[in-house]
Structure 1
């Protein structure tokens, strides 16, 4: 959860000063800040459970790409504004459902984080869905761009609902839901929004998988970490 919000938060922050209009610049910056704030909570909990004296910052800035377990979707390049908002909508659809489920976790620490984060995720989902609808059902060019974005990103959607041994153990302990249990409700929302946006869902959503289920390095994630971690690596332990 922390790796997802960290990587996506950094990706979204790349729009700061480059968005098509000022209102979108502010909204995307606020979304990025929300995601980074959630990262601090999730990675702080991970560091606490790990018990090796590391902090959330250590986990964010001192791990290499193969140690990250984020969804592949969140590390993809921003592309144009439509692609960024389509990526955000696909993530928000899953993220809101996951956080809602985690708010009923058997672990009180998880409940506390999820209860706070889901309020932000609700706004993120409302905004990204509305933007997808507005652009999809807009001009011929905006519709074409949104359809191209959906065609590109939808194959990554299925990974969100793929389970590994850790997911199964967490579900058995009542800590987190099985990812596949979220699929039906997410699919309903996805169909509702894409239909209103006059967009056509591609045939397959499971072409890309394995982001969180095993160590891997991708060019996209390596690029992100180069940007995100260079200060800490150049000046270890620097403070200001």
Structure 2
């Protein structure tokens, strides 16, 4: 059994799946930080379940990535035994948890993105990926509705709640462009039918986010020029800290099993 750090082939199909699986994994890890700390018990349970949904999605996609990669790595090895530079999640999901407004806005942004992505992946040329997408789509729809409901409540609530949600939008939107930055990995996935170019989802994403913001009368941010680089393995300073927590047990007790 492999217990040290692993290296994964740079095959475009594998890298495309790692971007999906890693983004779901790190997003789920951040949401899980609310377990036992949410504002009310109902939200504690809801956020914990959403984190579990995302980890389940990550597990399924990373399993498929390992099968395509061909070196025999399973989902646990891919999740726990890569170095920071080998993770392909977008920077948005690795940013600190923040307050409840930050989590709500980020959940809305990512759930809307994942919903659109899973919709397209349901017709993937890879039958296993298409099957994963069919289940994950139902979860993403719930995540999006949950976040949208909270944005409406916070945006239409007190002056303080509105101030916080507006600040969260302004801070997080700075990282949104990376979701839709196409490169050779996207082009290869598009050409093979594995999945869409992420940039092809941008117009629909912006329209759905505008609808979410419109209900409480929140302004849609302007496009940003800044482009974060998590998808290519160049992460923020926050990524190392989240991996130290995520990987601790496996790194401390290599190959451990319950």
Normalising by structure 1, report the TM-score: 0.97
Report whether the alignment pairs 1:230 with 2:213.
no
| Maintained 8 Å contact 2:85/2:234 | yes
Structure 2 gap ranges (5+): 1-19
Report whether the alignment pairs 1:185 with 2:219.
no
Report whether the alignment pairs 1:216 with 2:243.
no
The CA deviation at 1:173 is: 1.1
Give the 3-state SS of the residue equivalent to 2:255 in structure 1.
Answer: coil
Number of residue pairs matched by the alignment: 239
TM superposition outliers: structure 1 runs of 4+ over 2 Å? 201-206
| Maintained 8 Å contact 2:30/2:94 | yes
The CA deviation at 1:206 is: 4.0
Structure 1 gap ranges (5+): none
Alpha-carbon separation, structure 1, partners of 2:241 and 2:49: 23
Counterpart of 2:126 (choices 107, 132, 138) is: 107
The CA deviation at 1:203 is: 2.3
Counterpart of 1:80 (choices 99, 119, 122) is: 99
Give the 3-state SS of the residue equivalent to 1:236 in structure 2.
Answer: coil
Render the CA deviation track for 1:44-95: whole Å, top value 9, x for unaligned.
0011111111110000000111000001111111110011110110111111
Give the 3-state SS of the residue equivalent to 2:174 in structure 1.
Answer: helix
Counterpart of 1:138 (choices 153, 157, 164) is: 157
Matched residue, 1:13: 32
